[in-house]
Amino acid sequence: MTNYNAILTIDKPYVGAWVEPFTDRVHEQFRRYSPATAGGRDGRAQVIITLPATTLEQATQTATALLVEGEDWPAEPCGLEVLTTELYDRLGGFTLMPDLVSISEAAEQLGISRQAVLQRIESGRLPASKVGSAWVIASANLA
């Protein structure tokens, strides 16, 4: 048996009041699979689980059955990636880190105020991630 990590991406920014209850639910529902939630490369919500399987195909089928079929997610699933845990760990859990900008840099690039950027983040119109006490935004999300 090999361990695999399955990463389900949900088409909703990983920001706002829904995140904490969502994370609690995922941790309770998938506790057998060492679950985690995170914001993905583009700021969308992700559910990550670890599961044993004999083959990649079996891991993908199991992940699909667990994460996609019959689940009531807060938005439509839009991606499922399955990797060996060895590869997942080697990649640091995620694919390459995107170029990031601060709130001030985003405001300057968009030609709006810092407050307007924060309002877009809070409303879910601009995907961003919290790093410590600061927000960071993938520069690709500003295009």
Q: Residues 78, 12: one domain?
A: yes
Spatial contact of 74 and 10, defined as CB atoms under 8 Å apart: yes
Residues 26, 44, single domain; the answer is yes
- Beta-bridge partner residues of 84: 4
Q: 114 and 87: one domain?
A: no
pLDDT of residue 18: 85
> How many domains, the chain?
2
Identify whether residues 21 and 42 lie together within a single domain.
Answer: yes
Residues 74 and 129 in one domain: no
Q: Measured between alpha carbons, how far is 39 from 126 in angstroms, rounded to an integer?
A: 13
Joined together, the tokens standing for residue 2 give: 């090999």
What pLDDT is stored for residue 57 in this prediction?
A: 97
Helix 114-123 / helix 103-110 crossing angle, nearest 10 deg: 100
pLDDT at 71: 75
pLDDT of res. 96: 54
DSSP 35: -
Residues spanned by the domain of 115 = 100-141
Residue 10 sits in the same domain as residue 59: yes
Residues 56 and 22 in one domain: yes
Q: Which residues contact 19 (CB under 8 A, 6 or more apart)?
A: 37, 45
Do 55 and 115 fall into the same domain? no
* Model pLDDT, residue 97: 64
Element (H, E) at 53: strand 44-53
Q: Please report, in tens digits, the pLDDT of each residue of the chain (143 residues total).
A: 999 999 999 998 888 778 889 989 999 999 999 999 988 878 889 999 999 999 999 999 999 999 987 678 888 899 999 999 999 888 875 555 678 899 999 999 999 999 999 999 989 899 988 887 889 998 888 87
- What lies within 8 Å, CB to CB, of 105 at 6+ separation is none
Query: Which CATH number belongs to the domain containing residue 7 in this structure?
Result: 3.30.70
